[in-house]
Chain A
Amino acid sequence: MAELAPGSVVVRDLWESFTIYHDRPVSLKDRLVGKRKTSTEQFWALKGVSVEVEPGETLALVGANGSGKSTLLKVMARILEPDKGSVDIGGRLAALLEVGAGFHGDLTGRENVYLNASILGFGRREVDRIFDDIVAFAELERFIDTPVRTYSSGMYVRLGFAVAIHLDPHILLVDEVLAVGDARFQARCFDRIRALQREGRTIIFVTHDTDLAASLCKRAVLLVEGEIDQMGPSHLVVDRYRELYTAEGTHDMGHFTGGEVHGTGDMRLSGIRLITEAGDPVVKVGEALSVTYAAEATTEIERPVFGLIVRAPDGTYLYDTNTLWRNHDTGTYRSGDKVVVRFDLKAHLLPGMYLITVAAANEDGRVAYDWHTDVLAFEVRGNTHARGIAALDADVTIEAL
């Protein structure tokens, strides 16, 4: 096959599957007598995706959680092998899927820079040339010979990012890691990314941030359930994404499809409902709404934890609460015992579409009994003269001096 031009990526009819194990925790005794409740299921994360990226292009991959965008990035980075189809890469590629992958706490910053760079495929001499730039960018001159376990998380992230962004790959893959560090550091990261763009590097990144996608690149790809829904100019793709995941585009409001359900089944949730004043899943900004569900124990359970999570359609975590954190004693259950759990909320949210996850888990919240991700959706309406997520009710006053 002819070698591709450095910086180009050609993905052809890519299929990628995962095996999901539904595995309930078993005791040693159960293991010994061979009682193991495991069932498996094939899940296709990518279903025939084809993309071509030109050298020097910046491409954003957008999509909801579980749409396959990170999987696509991992296949491009060769971390996963495709089940079917092919990925061809021209030139050298560096993937920044996790900041500071392979950093070791006991090694100094300097040692980790060289280690990290060699993991990404860059040699000692190449790093020697840019070492000072890396340290300066991370602003760690004073700490570079200190073990990284003594670093603050901010320092750690800065160093990891500085390494990746100073290496000189033809293609840079970035997964959602731009949302790190303080605002000033982030701004510098974007400056650096724009510089890489000007130098003609190919950049492919995964993001939930549609504004970012629209501003950094001309072209974007929207993935929905492992397939390309739309590919083209980024502002059009971003519009399509917003249309899909905000109220107008979603028909079955009460039950948002595509939510994932998992858990051991020691407790079963049913009748998961949204209660609003108007009766439909639409509330005004600041208005009350309630979520109720029935929970039935299928075995003996002590103090289960009932929880509720509210997220934005792009996955952003907005609110997470549960009976454990609220010190709410939920009591003891025998098999067949059933209760109704009710959460009363106020929608201090800006207009938009929001998703609710409900769950029951064990005593310390570590083992999910029954977990329904994004099972409900509701829309907040109203005019707040603001953008964003939280309804912070700003008042503006201007006084003449």
Chain B
Amino acid sequence: MSIDTAPAARMGELWSARQLLRNLTVRELKVRYKRSAIGFLWSLVNPLLQMAVFSLVFGKLFSASKTIPQFPIFFIVAFLPWAFFQGSVQNSTGAIVGNANLVKKVYFPREVLPVATMLAQFVHLLLAELVLFVVLAIGGNDFLPYLPVFVIATVIVVVLATGFAMLFAALNTAFRDVQELSGVLFLVWFYATPVVYPLSLVPSKWRWVLSLNPMTHVVRLYRYALYPVPRAGGFAWPPVTVVAAGAAFAVAALVLGYVVFGRMAANFAKEV
């Protein structure tokens, strides 16, 4: 075995580190709620509280609920993947730096750290989505036939989040400014994504700007899958262009993140 950073070798290593990946993911999940009273329920309570606040502020105060039926559902369907994405990337930003003791003392494929962070967030996402499914079913929404759209959207957002998580984790080792910047960056990014408003509200000459935001496509796919209301006759299949754009961004982000991470990983032990 030679020191080898060829992509195939790295992938193979990542596979052989799956136990570690699993353990680190479990560590992240366990440790997070270890000493809180309601523990895991926080992964459900948090989005619910966000939904309540945004429904109150946008739905009632800005009267968005007049033009957008079922505003809370409209919001939460888009917010859950957004929260997953933001959580994965922001928590991963400190994944290498925050595990300096490990990075300096043990060798393992460094990709494991941001990927485990992403996976922990993914568990939260799935739990929240399950609850959302139950709520939708009780409300009489027949979203089941459109489940493939949900699956596709979820695959896209996972790939996208993994790419950005690796990118941010790597860049932060050389420039700690990434950590400082990410707060504001994600605030802007959140409002540049049609989470609290529909894309149709954006003047059509500006929509191309939003279409450069990968999360726009993710959020639209999730609405196609789970939010039936504005389309006459309930659910509809999304245009192929949305799927294609989302998938293209996701793959591009993964490649970028993977390459940058791979280039910088050699210096992690010296930088942290």
Contacts and interface: CB of A to CB of B under 8 A. Distances in A.
Interface of A: 1, 3-4, 18-19, 74, 77-82, 86-90, 95, 97-98, 101-102, 104, 106-107, 111, 114-115, 118-124
Nearest to B268: A79
A88 B1 contact: yes
Given A80-B270, A86-B3, A123-B19, A106 B31 contact: yes
A279 B29 CA distance: 66
27 contacts: A4-B1, A19-B270, A79-B104, A80-B269, A80-B270, A82-B3, A87-B3, A88-B1, A95-B105, A98-B106, A101-B105, A101-B106, A102-B99, A104-B27, A106-B34, A106-B35, A107-B27, A115-B24, A118-B22, A119-B20, A119-B106, A120-B106, A121-B16, A121-B17, A122-B19, A123-B19, A124-B19
B57 interface: no
Contacts of A86: 2-3
A77 B1 CA distance: 12
Contact of A101 (B22, B23, B102, B266): B102
B23 A114 contact: yes
A206 B99 CA distance: 24
A95 B107 contact: yes
A81 B107 CA distance: 11
Nearest to B13: A121
Contacts of A123: 19
A104 B31 contact: yes
A18 B267 CA distance: 10
A241 to B, nearest CB: 26
A79 B35 contact: no
B30 A111 contact: yes
Contact of B108 (A19, A74, A119): A119
B30 A97 contact: no
B50 interface: no
Contacts of A98: 101, 105-106
Contact of A102 (B1, B19, B34, B106): B106
Nearest to B28: A104
B101 to A, nearest CB: 6
Given A18-B270, A119-B102, 10 more contacts: A77-B107, A80-B269, A81-B267, A95-B106, A97-B105, A98-B101, A107-B30, A111-B30, A118-B20, A119-B23
Given A74-B269, A118-B20, A118-B23, A107 B105 contact: no
Interface in B99-139: 99, 101-108
B270 A89 contact: no
Interface in B69-111: 99, 101-108
Contacts, number: 78
B102 to A, nearest CB: 5
B106 A118 contact: no
Nearest to B32: A106
A79 B270 CA distance: 9
Contacts of A119: 20, 23, 102, 106, 108
Contacts of B3: 78, 81-82, 86-87
Given A102-B102, A107-B27, A107-B30, A79 B19 contact: no
A118 B2 contact: no
Given A81-B266, A82-B3, A121 B108 contact: yes
A1 B102 contact: no
Contacts of A111: 27, 30
Nearest to B99: A102
Given A87-B3, A88-B1, A98-B101, A79 B27 contact: no
Contact of B2 (A1, A79, A80, A107): A1
Interface in B217-272: 266-267, 269-270
A98 B99 CA distance: 14
Nearest 3 pairs of A and B residues by beta carbon: A78-B107, A81-B266, A118-B20
Nearest to A147: B34
A79 B23 contact: no
Contacts of B20: 118-119, 121
Contacts of B99: 102
A80 B266 CA distance: 7
Contacts of A102: 99, 101-102, 106
A109 to B, nearest CB: 14
A124 B26 CA distance: 14
Contacts of A77: 106-107
B106 A97 contact: yes
Contacts of A95: 105-107
Contacts of A74: 269
Most buried by A among B2, B102, B107, B270: B107
Most buried by B among A80, A88, A90, A118: A118
B1 A90 contact: yes
A89 B23 CA distance: 26
Contacts of B19: 118, 122-124
A78 to B, nearest CB: 4
A124 B21 CA distance: 12
Interface in B50-74: none
A88 B31 CA distance: 37
A87 B35 CA distance: 44
Contact of A89 (B1, B27, B269): B1
Contacts of B27: 104, 107, 111, 115
Contacts of A82: 3
A119 B22 CA distance: 11
Nearest to A16: B270
Nearest to A106: B34
B101 A79 contact: no
